[in-house]
Structure 1
């Protein structure tokens, strides 16, 4: 007996969705292929989009993502710069047909969760190969790409942050298996969580570690009714073991000690050209620029002129500006604020706050552990991306904006579909 036609479509689309976390960090630009295939599939089914129930939540998602792109377009037109500036943010609009496709054919939960778990495991294995076999010093670094071509396309900060998200999503999934008392799945997903998080630490992407405690607290609070004394004891032992293991890793402790030393030296007025020193100087420059152009921002070209002005006036380190004149601000919030003003910052906050709000609301009314799990995964993904954006302009890189936008619409479509089915 053949499977119904719609079921075949659902399975194929679910497999395409699951391939995203699996391939994301399996090789240098693994995050590129699944979105392309999903977009092609979405265009093939666009004639069915009029059958979708366009609820308030769906409209809020479409509106916030669309407005974010429009702020880039308006800034480009206003300042008369090259249209290449809207190439990167166009990704956030291109995922909207995928969002609608997934509302038509929601991903199968078992396939989706398997994709996250497998992806997290692959991420951890790849990171360990980079560190212990290739001797790159930092996982996901392409410094030895001429010797090891497989390293081409990686960026340690971007990749390390993505690894952290995959690890925490696997941790969230493990809680669901714990509720179901599916012990082998719980163990497997817990191992996946450790490998994903460990990969982030091996990358040395320190900005990805800042919100890790917040994510753990969120998960503990969201699942507080399930926490017994036994579970609490086991959790403390597992976390303690993990922290101890990480504290014994030379690469990780070196990065942490380096960060502490750089902050101390910067406070003394020294070493402004260090990794953190450069960030602090660029942040200062962005703040000064915002004071000059608070509403619509300065645009990219004027921002460069103003950076040279701040350096000439001694407000920021001239050597840093010389080396990073056309660089982003290493903070997505300050980047959008300085380039597109309060309007740009508001649009940025919207693509965080609206999805996060949907996940929280849907989690509150969910009546099944699976629904709660999906919404917790979505909330974790958004929370962690907010943390990453504090020390990196994630959306100024192809990997960052694709990862966040596609991950968000996958989990949003699943969450909204489950809510509609419940109703």
Structure 2
């Protein structure tokens, strides 16, 4: 039952799609939830970081997962500000939510979302004219200013985290200390490639993978530090190791199918009422792909359910908006 619990929960999240299609709630209800989540995250981690002195605050969950989800809520708040642009007060509130979510992510010290942030900026610029050019550019400029200020303020730790990552990579490549945040990941990915090579088609049960990693460490082919972490810190490698090419293809479909749906909705009605919602859907999928490069974001039940619920909710709002157009 432990094996099927998480996928079952994600599967039953389709009820969110059914609820949206049946009840037809206004989109602002979705945006209010997104904005509230982004704004609630900031005082929580700010208190932990600045008052309690926790170096990597994460609320009540893992700091990486918290930072990734806070960043995604910030990006979704940007799409909320775009969709609510005809309601200045609500649009400004959404902009504050975007800044709060971004600040929350920076306070956690999580680096996994930096690529997602860059991809999101490209997406917003690509569709700026369709979504209201001046407003999008203004939000991007303010967001870039926050990141830039954080980079040059030592207390944020952003520049130190970047330098630490570069140093960790150099140390690992030179055969030095593996027991660093990045070095441990690189050693895990080395072990993952060895596991995949042994069972490329169907992979191995995760417990069998851990046992095999222990054997590699005993043989001196891997550093024993790989046994101290619960997963392989990369979604794709995790799926290849535990499910082989078949499992990887099934996992990839959970990302590709919604991405194609939202991209099609975005192209189908430029500037239409579902444009912002469709862009939000693209952001959810691309952000999760980015998060999964250095973390198994789907390892967390909270991370998995957030993905499934947001995908189905946004699909429902897209279909409702498209029906109104028709």
**Above 0.5 in TM-score?**
yes
Q: Structure 1: how far apart are the matches of 2:120 and 2:103? A: 15
Q: Structure 1: how far apart are the matches of 2:129 and 2:63? A: 34
Q: CA shift at 1:349, angstroms?
A: 0.8
Alignment map for 1:57-68 (pairs within 5 Å): none
| Larger Rg belongs to | 1
Q: Given that residues 166 and 196 in structure 1 are in contact (C-alpha distance below 8 angstroms), is that contact kept between their aligned partners in structure 2?
A: yes
Q: Structure 2: how far apart are the matches of 1:369 and 1:414? A: 12
Q: 1:169 aligns to what?
A: 76
Q: Which residue of 93, 97, 100 corresponds with 1:195?
A: 100
Q: Which residue of 254, 276, 286 corresponds with 1:351?
A: 254
Is 1:363 matched up with 2:266? yes
TM-score, normalised with respect to structure 1: 0.72
Alignment map for 1:264-275 (pairs within 5 Å): 264-275=170-181
Q: 1:401 aligns to what?
A: 304
Q: CA shift at 1:226, angstroms?
A: 5.8
Q: Given that residues 131 and 271 in structure 2 are in contact (C-alpha distance below 8 angstroms), is that contact kept between their aligned partners in structure 1?
A: no
Deviation per residue, 1:100-139 (Å, 9 max, x gap):
2222223321111111112211112222122122222222
Q: Which residue of 3, 17, 20 corresponds with 1:102?
A: 20
Greater shift, 368-377 or 245-254, is seen at 245-254
Alignment map for 1:13-412 (pairs within 5 Å): 83-140=1-58, 151=59, 153-178=60-85, 180=86, 182-225=87-130, 234=138, 237-247=141-151, 248-250=153-155, 251-317=157-223, 319-324=224-229, 327-366=230-269, 368-412=271-315
Query: Residues 106 and 139 (structure 1 numbering): CA distance in 2 closer, same or farther, change over 3 Å?
Result: farther
Secondary structure at the counterpart of residue 274 of structure 2:
helix
TM-score, normalised with respect to structure 2: 0.92
Deviation per residue, 1:374-400 (Å, 9 max, x gap):
111111111101111111111111111
Query: Residues 112 and 226 (structure 1 numbering): CA distance in 2 closer, same or farther, change over 3 Å?
Result: closer
Q: CA shift at 1:342, angstroms?
A: 0.9
Q: CA shift at 1:242, angstroms?
A: 1.5
Q: CA shift at 1:161, angstroms?
A: 0.7
Q: Structure 1: how far apart are the matches of 2:190 and 2:178? A: 12
Deviation per residue, 1:132-187 (Å, 9 max, x gap):
222222221xxxxxxxxxx5x32111111110100000112223344x3x433332
Could you list the runs of 5+ residues in structure 1 that have no partner in the other structure?
A: 1-82, 141-150
Q: Given that residues 262 and 278 in structure 2 are in contact (C-alpha distance below 8 angstroms), is that contact kept between their aligned partners in structure 1?
A: yes
Query: Residues 235 and 399 (structure 1 numbering): CA distance in 2 closer, same or farther, change over 3 Å?
Result: closer
Q: Structure 1: how far apart are the matches of 2:283 and 2:137? A: 23
Query: Residues 303 and 226 (structure 1 numbering): CA distance in 2 closer, same or farther, change over 3 Å?
Result: closer
Q: 2:316 aligns to what?
A: 413
Q: Structure 2: how far apart are the matches of 1:419 and 1:225? A: 16
Q: Given that residues 200 and 244 in structure 2 are in contact (C-alpha distance below 8 angstroms), is that contact kept between their aligned partners in structure 1?
A: yes
Query: Residues 416 and 225 (structure 1 numbering): CA distance in 2 closer, same or farther, change over 3 Å?
Result: closer
Greater shift, 253-262 or 378-387, is seen at 253-262
Secondary structure at the counterpart of residue 257 of structure 1:
helix
Q: Given that residues 88 and 396 in structure 1 are in contact (C-alpha distance below 8 angstroms), is that contact kept between their aligned partners in structure 2?
A: no
Q: Structure 1: how far apart are the matches of 2:136 and 2:26? A: 31
Q: Given that residues 130 and 271 in structure 2 are in contact (C-alpha distance below 8 angstroms), is that contact kept between their aligned partners in structure 1?
A: no
Q: Structure 1: how far apart are the matches of 2:91 and 2:244? A: 46
Quote the RMSD (CA, aligned, Å): 2.1
Query: Residues 234 and 302 (structure 1 numbering): CA distance in 2 closer, same or farther, change over 3 Å?
Result: closer
Q: Given that residues 139 and 199 in structure 1 are in contact (C-alpha distance below 8 angstroms), is that contact kept between their aligned partners in structure 2?
A: no
Query: Residues 414 and 176 (structure 1 numbering): CA distance in 2 closer, same or farther, change over 3 Å?
Result: closer
Q: Given that residues 259 and 282 in structure 2 are in contact (C-alpha distance below 8 angstroms), is that contact kept between their aligned partners in structure 1?
A: yes
Q: Structure 1: how far apart are the matches of 2:162 and 2:114? A: 10
